[in-house]
Amino acid sequence: MAKSSFQGTKINPIRFHRSQLKFYAFLVPFSTLMILPIIFIINHAFKPQSELFAFPPRFFVRQPTFDNFLELSRIASASGVPFSRYIINSLFVTGAGVFLAIFITAFSAYALSKLKFKGKRFLFEVNTLALMFVPIAVQIPRYLIIAQTGMIDSYVAHILPMVVMPVAMFLIKQFIDQTPDELIESAKIDGASEMEIFLKIIFPIVLPAIATVGILAFQVLWNDVTTSILYIDDESKRTLAFYMMSLTSIQGNIVAGQGMAAAAGLIMFLPNLILFIILQSKVMNTMAHSGIK
């Protein structure tokens, strides 16, 4: 009797229980508000000109059309650099940047968490201090470093400044801190190297945090426009985000440009949405456990 009574009142029942209704009543309205911008971006991209400038503005499209995408494709095909070149640049920069960001932050977090060396605490405090600075605050020193090291007008200028992510380092370190030291010591006794310990023991444990870092790095690199503006002069080395911004800004002062801007916004937004949907369970796991010691 006591056991069944306990099961009926536990906080998180396995199956639906009427006690959960109060949570649904609170969370469903908030989740609806959060999903409304996504619905609007999708609807806005398929609106004809008459609905784009309708007053009062319409949230949902009534007569969907692909004219905005066709116009965007027509303008893109008339440019000097092929549209596919911008896509390839973005894919290369984003792929290489995400890989390096995960590689650098994961190994650095492991060193700061489990290895013993002088200056370890100081380096972690520097990383924590770096969380305070927004990108615009370091724009001038970053430009001077890139210019003096000869990285102007190269793909390295796209990738290198973006792969060092203090927040990613913090998240992964918090996960690694939860790994018992005894587990690592027993692996060392069995003859495992530091690389084997990281790949076979640490990596599976921090996989949710690594997935989160991958999403953060993807968003930063895929949507980055500043690098193409400040550091790149060769048009063939600029990314899709810059091209979409420049194309819509040039055409944006005319009526047709509003539809192109809506279509371009959806094209740039969809990869972020798809990646988050695929990895969202691991992201939630990261947020739930990043503060647990």
Question: How buried is residue 238: exposed, middle or buried, by Cβ count under 10 Å (0-12/13-18/19+)?
Answer: buried
CA–CA distance, 66 with 188 (Å, rounded to integer): 60
CA–CA distance, 59 with 57 (Å, rounded to integer): 7
Mean pLDDT to the nearest integer, 25-36: 84
Over 50: is that where the pLDDT of 182 sits?
yes
Amino acid letter, residue 59: F
Which CATH code, of 1.10.3720.10, 3.30.1600.10, 3.40.50.970, 2.60.40.10, is assigned to 83-289? Answer: 1.10.3720.10
Residues 33-52 have pLDDT tens digits of: 888 888 988 888 888 888 88
pLDDT computed for residue 49 by the predictor: 80
The residues near 250 (Cβ < 8 Å, ≥ 6 apart) are 257
Residues 128-145 have pLDDT tens digits of: 888 888 778 888 888 888
Write down the pTM of the prediction. Answer: 0.77
The residues near 67 (Cβ < 8 Å, ≥ 6 apart) are 48, 49, 259
Paired tokens of 170? 């913090």
What rounded mean pLDDT belongs to the chain?
81
